[in-house]
Chains A and B, each alone.
Chain A
Amino acid sequence: MKRRTILKSTLSAAVLASVAAGAAWAENPVLKIGFVGVTSGPAAAWGISNQRSMETRAEWINETGGYKIGDTTYDIEIVSFDDQKDPKRAVAGMEKMAQEGIHYVVGPNVDDGAAAVRPVAESNGIMYFPYAFPKSLYQAPASNAVLGMVANYQSGPAIYKHLKEAEGVKTVAFIAANESDPLSQRDGGVAAAKALGLEVVSDSVTYQVDTTDFTPVLTPIMRAKPDLLVLSGVSPANAPQLIRSARELGFSGLISTETAQDAQVLREGAGDLANGFISVGGASTPEIASDMMNEFVERYTDMFGEYNDESNTKVYALEYILETLKANPAAIDDVEAYKVTMDTFEAPNPYMQGDAVLKYVGDSSFGQKRQVAVPLVVNVYQDGAFETMFIAEVD
């Protein structure tokens, strides 16, 4: 009898627990946010830092009860698609997002992918946040893309100007992978350097994107003996090899890039030879990071084992989407309402100390507010870690 009672109680408890768990699970409706970007291959670190930032933040939000937009509290679900840095797959990824009824997508990570998905996004009412720099994506008549970071034509001039004034740089050489992103970044960099009065001593050397040994590629540039070598649009996988080969060939000048890099990858791939390498960092430094940013880094590290400095930038896109939806709940299914809100949107920036705000910028570069405002942090690599070189703002 007693045994039967125990069994009944246990069964009842199990049923109740499962019902309660189901009720808790079903308590919040789900808001799906998409990610279409590169999470495999040499540039995988760019997309993976996006995806992991979004997943970390989404889990954090869900764990603390969800995200309130209007009168409804939502659980956030991240729907991800690896486009393998292939425009055709990026289109397929954006179509998948449309089929799932998703209106807000982070990515793609590169120029050709971002350009390829534009028709799909515009015809299906999707706002997307690329990490790609072609101005045509953000200038009218385009209106669905929002640049998720600082563009090279914004960071490049700032870096060259700083190096010209602080380090006495007079001559500069550019090297880029033979594909659209790096080549367009190289062209933008060359124009910016010339506008600043720097002498460009080499800008024609390019390399195959799958190059593994850069010594033969760099040999002609080394003969030009530039003060500054710019690795235009360099992927995190290629940067350490290029730096290492340049230093081994006797290059003693400065090396910089306008793309984000990974300190651990630099340490492993180039060791001390990477000391002094200048790159655009994630949009945070210990000096400006808020407690929330520090907690984000902790949660990210707990979830994925190691942190990527670039996620200091990548954390922002999801926050901008959610805060803008909070400011105008009607935008949840209506991107036109979202666009209207963007012009006046302002909210406290939870990832920075002080009075910093989230707001859309881009009037200067694009003629309309189609860029998220994040700090421009320029880093210099030193002994296994990035040190802040300077911080600036862009509009």
Chain B
Amino acid sequence: MDQIPQILANGVYLGAQYAMIALGLTLIFALMNVLNFAHGQMYVIGGFVTYTIYGAWGIPFVIALAMSCITLAILGALIEKFLFAPVIKKSARDESTMLLAAAIAFLLDAVILLVFGEKQRGVPKLVDGTTILGDYTLVIANDRILICLLAIASIVGFISFMQFSKTGRALRALAQDRVAAQLMGVNVDRYSMIGFALGAMLAGLVGGLLVTITGINLGMGGPTSIKAFMMVMIGGAGVISGAIAGGIILGFLEAAGLALLASYGDITYLLIFVSLMIFLAIRPQGLMGKPWG
């Protein structure tokens, strides 16, 4: 029982960061029906940009984070315009975009190795200190609390943007029905590019935020993509609220499993995967699996 406060705190923190990672992936899927296998690599680039600007050059973190977002937004827009858009127009087969996404993931891995090197990189902590409550029943570093709050604020900001802005409404219309949106005057090509850029920007944002906690290295891209896909599968592909729910569920499962099952070895993920398989057999569309409008 005395572990519950720590499990809850770890769950909230992990859930918030996982939800942010999944948001960009599910947005791109909702808009374009593209499984972006390069999402993890985009996250890694975001982390490295923040590392370079904030960690290596000593420029304020806020600017570094903004540059991560801008870099990834531009990269995402270019990838959509010159790679995905032509392939989607020329090929009706879903696997064409899947293969393209996988190729982009490999390409970005190679580019990251060339530009940023192979080493693990880290940046100075944003805030020092640790919050300890009740004789170590709850211990959480202050920078984790800050990142958790920033992640929650970013999620709220993103949902508000999608809900209340003209661009957000256009993107939602696009996700609900591409043809109907076009008939209503939505510039489909333009908003597809904006949506992809927004998804990539979210990857850059979360990479820039988490580099302050976890550091960043070349090998993080693939596993990050896999976790993001797990969250999307739990919540339902293409559903914003589903991605958030999937992230939070995965975060809590991980926090509880690692705390309560530690004495049995590394079985937490084994159980998570088994649970996921059973869950998908019963509900293949995930918790909220329908287009997210």
A residues adjacent to B (C-beta < 8 A): 39-42, 44-45, 48, 178, 204-208, 210, 212-213, 215-217, 219-222, 236-238, 240-241, 248-250, 262, 264-265, 268-271
**Does B153 sit within 8 A of A, measured CB to CB?**
no
A314 to B151, CA, bound (A): 42
14 of the cross-chain contacts (CB-CB < 8 Å) are A42-B217, A44-B218, A204-B263, A204-B265, A213-B14, A213-B214, A216-B259, A217-B258, A219-B10, A219-B258, A237-B120, A264-B119, A269-B122, A271-B124
* Contact present for B118 and A48 (CB under 8 Å): yes
Within 8 A of A (CB), among B128-161: 130, 132, 136, 139-141, 144
Closest CB in chain B relative to A198 CB, distance in Å: 20
**Are B120 and A240 in contact, with the CB atoms below 8 A?**
yes
> For A44, what are the chain B residues with a Cβ–Cβ distance below 8 Å?
118-119, 217-219
Which 10 residue pairs are nearest across A and B when measured between Cβ atoms? A210-B223, A269-B122, A41-B219, A44-B118, A237-B120, A268-B122, A220-B262, A206-B266, A212-B214, A248-B141
Contact flag A212-B139 (CB < 8 Å), given A178-B266, A265-B119: no
B119:A45 contact, CB within 8 angstroms: yes
Roughly how many angstroms separate A356 CA and B217 CA in the complex, as a whole number? Answer: 38
New A-B pairs, 5, CB < 8 Å, besides A44-B219, A213-B14, A213-B213 = A48-B118, A210-B219, A240-B215, A248-B144, A268-B55
Does B254 make an interface contact (CB < 8 A)?
A: yes
Contacting pair B120 A250 (CB below 8 A): no
Complex: chain B residue closest to A210, CB-CB: B223
Question: Contact: B214 with A42, CB < 8 Å?
Answer: no
Smallest beta-carbon distance B291→chain A, Å: 31
Inter-chain contact B258/A216, CB cutoff 8 Å: yes
Which positions in B face A, CB cutoff 8 Å?
Answer: 3, 6, 10, 13-14, 17, 55, 109, 113, 118-125, 130, 132, 136, 139-141, 144, 210, 213-215, 217-220, 222-223, 254-255, 258-259, 262-266, 269
* Alpha-carbon distance between A238 and B218 when the two chains are bound, in angstroms: 13
A201→B262 CA distance, assembly (Å): 13
Interface residues of B, dominant DSSP: helix
Q: Which residue of A lies closest to B226 (CB)?
A: A210
CB-CB nearest in chain A for B113: A40
B130 and A210 within 8 A (CB):
no
Distance in angstroms from B205 CB to nearest chain A CB is 16
Q: Complex Cα distance A130/B120, Å?
A: 23
CA distance A48 to B217 in the complex (A): 14
A262 to B209, CA, bound (A): 24
Contact of A207 with B266 at beta-carbon distance under 8 Å, contacts A44-B118, A216-B14, A216-B258 already known: yes
Q: Which one of B118, B124, B144, B264 lies within 8 Å of A215 (CB-CB)?
A: B144
Give Cα A270–Cα B141 distance, bound, in whole angstroms.
13
Give complex CA distance A238, B214 in Å.
Answer: 9
Complex CA distance for A42 and B222, rounded to whole angstroms:
12
Query: Which A residues lie within 8 Å of B130 (CB)?
Result: 248-250
Q: Point out which of A48, A204, A262 has the most chain B C-beta atoms below 10 A from its C-beta.
A: A204
Q: Which residue of A lies closest to B125 (CB)?
A: A271
Q: How far is the CA of A206 from the CA of B139 in the complex (A)?
A: 21
Q: A204-B263, A271-B124, A271-B125 are in contact. Are A248 and B214 (CB under 8 A)?
A: no
Give, as a whole number of angstroms, the nearest-CB distance from B248 to chain A: 14
Q: A45-B119, A216-B254, A236-B119 are in contact. Are A269 and B139 (CB under 8 A)?
A: no
Closest Cβ–Cβ distance, residue A12 to chain B (whole Å): 41
Q: B270 CB to closest chain A CB, in angstroms?
A: 10
Give A40 to B266 CA distance when docked, in angstroms.
25
Task: Kindly state the separation between the CA atoms of A213 and B12 in the bound complex, as whole angstroms.
Answer: 13
Report whether A208 and B118 are in contact in the complex, using a CB–CB cutoff of 8 Å: no
Chain B residues positioned under 8 Å from A205 (CB to CB): 262
Bound-complex Cα distance A219 to B8 (A): 13
Q: Quick one: given A216-B255, A220-B263, are A40 and B118 in contact (CB under 8 Å)?
A: yes
A237 CA to B223 CA, complexed, in Å = 14
With known contacts A44-B119, A236-B119, A248-B130, A268–B263 Cβ distance under 8 A = no
Complex contacts, A210 vs chain B, CB 8 Å: 219-220, 222-223
Contact B217 A237 (CB under 8 A): yes
A174 CB, nearest partner CB in chain B, Å: 12
CB neighbours (8 Å) of A42 from chain B are: 120, 217, 219-220
- Whole-angstrom distance between the Cβ of A383 and the nearest chain B Cβ: 14
How far apart are A80's CB and chain B's nearest CB, in angstroms?
13
B274 to chain A, nearest CB (A): 15
Contact A250 B136 (CB under 8 A): yes
CA of A222 to CA of B113 in the docked complex: distance in angstroms? 35
Kindly identify which residue among B6, B144, B269 contacts A208, using a CB–CB cutoff of 8 Å. B269
